[in-house]
Each structure stands twice: as C-alpha cells, then as structure tokens.
Chains A and B, each alone.
Chain A
Amino acid sequence: MPTVSKDLQKREAQTPDAERTRPSRVYVPRVDIHENKDAIVLAADMPGVDESSVEITVDKNVLTIQGHVHEARPEGHQLTFAEYEIGDYQRVFTLPNEIDQSHIEASVRNGVLRLTLPKAQEAKPKKIQVRSAA
C-alpha cells in the first residue's frame, strides 16, 4: 500500500506567539499564494472552517488568518481509532506594502479559505508611453 510522506499531514504550530485560552491544538494551514497583475491570491486548507468561524485581521502590514473548528462528535459514538486531530488554525504573513488593505476579499468553500489581496493603484505596473521628441 502506498504511504504518503509526512508532508500531507497537518502541521502543528510550533511556537504560538501567546498562550491560548482554549485548550485546543493549533495547526498551520497549508497555503498557496500566487500573484497576478491585479492582486495577490492566497488559498489555505482549513477543513472544518466556514465563513463564520474564520477571522482575518490586517494590522499595518501583518495579515493574520485564524480559523476556529468546532469539534463535532457523532452522538452516542466514541472515538475508537484516530489518525488526525482537530484543532484551530492560525498563520501570520507579512504583506508587501503595495496591498490595498481596504479591499481585501475573503471566501470559504469546501474548507478552503481564499483571500484576494488587491494591489494598490500606485503599485500596479504602469506602461509608460515614450513620446518622440518632436
């Protein structure tokens, strides 16, 4: 049977910046970040998180994504075999200066958070017309 690398497993946060009031574990979501000419787009795997349990804060140029997962235990059942654990998600990024912080958009679908961080007008590439000196 093929086994996958440890890479596919959830990664637990190593040093949370502060101790948490909730005793749950904290995981670092896996992200893809790509850039196009208008925006930087971030996708984060956060299974169990929906629109209401995700929190995105931008403080100066620090972007924090947090997701709280409510652990649903099937009623009348007990956990007999566990390969993964449930916990919250948190990850912090430093944003480049050119992000227009007031127009950040976020959506969650199938446990994936998607953030669109539009570039500020000044930061978009401009084409400079070269005029011939007549």
Chain B
Amino acid sequence: MLWPRVGYGLGWNPWRELGRLQEEVNRIFPRLGEAASFDFPAMNVWSGPEDVVVSAELPGVEPDKIDISVAGDTVTVRGSRELENLKNGESYHRREREAGQFTRSLRLPFEIEAGKVEAKFKNGVLEIKLPRAESEKPKKVTVRTA
C-alpha cells in the first residue's frame, strides 16, 4: 500500500532530511561550528545530481598518509599527521598543533560507484568525489497515453 504522503510528486529526498536535521541542530546550537564538538576531521558535503563531493581540511598531512576506502554506501578516511620532532638544543615557545591518527566514516544515502571515486588533495584540503552507483541513479519514466 502506498502512503499518501509518498505520492505527492516530490519524492523522498534524503538531503532534504539531512538539511532538516541540520536545522534542528542549529536551533539547539545557534552557531553550529562553535558550539558543538565534531569528529576529526570536520567535513563538508556538497551534493549534485549524480555525485557527492566531501571535503575536509587536513593541513600538514602528507597525501600518501591519507587512506580512503569505500564500502557500499560508506566512505572512510583514515590518516595520520606527523609533526617534526625537536632536535637537541631546540625548545618550544608555543605548541598548538597536534599530531596523531584519525579515522572518520561518512554514510551516504546511496550506494557509491567505488571504481569511479576520485580524490584530490591540494593545499591541505582533501576533496573526494563520490559518484552514485549506476543502479541507484534516478530513472526517468515516460508516461504513455493508453
């Protein structure tokens, strides 16, 4: 049985759901970026008709230390940041940057075409392009007159 609200033409848009969730959270924390704590690295998600672009800021991480894996509808970014060790006779004035390992997974509302995932890393910003699997792309159905 079809529920009436499913059939009203707009369809179910997972991104709209995500947006609604974000609005909800924004209401609780007026400035999301400052009030809430996140997993590291913080990610931005851009969505297009056929793919999603995920970006993250990873300054000082070597590109070969970033490992991206895709399984089904989940993308996982792993990596580590190493900072120089002090040599003998050197001393810190300030130490605000941190080193260590990180892992972050993001689940998308569709299956990812794993073979076509592209990632680039420029000036410390990682950008991963995750195309929607062929079988999950929206299909256009033409209506014939009987």
Contact = CB atoms under 8 A, between A and B. Distances in A.
B146 interface: no
Nearest to B21: A81
B110 to A, nearest CB: 13
Interface residues of A, number: 43
A47 B58 contact: yes
B93 A40 contact: yes
B134 interface: no
Contacts of B86: 34
Contact of A34 (B15, B60, B93): B93
A84 B44 contact: yes
Contacts, number: 142
Nearest to A3: B37
B38 interface: yes
Nearest to A83: B42
B33 interface: yes
Contacts of B98: 7-8
A121 B96 CA distance: 29
B125 A32 contact: no
The interface residues of chain A, by DSSP majority, are classed as loop
Contacts of A77: 46-48, 52-53
Given A35-B93, A112-B59, A112-B60, A47 B125 contact: yes
Contacts of B37: 3-6, 9
Interface in A4-47: 4-10, 12, 30-37, 40, 43, 45-47
B39 A1 contact: yes
Given A48-B125, A74-B48, A33 B92 contact: yes
Contacts of B44: 79, 81-84
A8 B44 CA distance: 16
Interface of A: 1-10, 12, 30-37, 40, 43, 45-50, 73-74, 76-85, 108, 110-112
Given A47-B58, A80-B46, 16 more contacts: A3-B39, A4-B38, A4-B39, A32-B95, A36-B90, A46-B124, A47-B57, A74-B129, A78-B48, A80-B19, A81-B43, A83-B33, A83-B38, A84-B42, A110-B62, A110-B123
Q: What are the 3 A-B residue pairs with the smallest beta carbon separation, nearest first?
A: A111-B124, A111-B59, A47-B124
Interface of B: 15, 18-19, 22, 32-34, 37-40, 42-49, 52-53, 57-63, 83-84, 86-87, 89-98, 121, 123-125, 127, 129
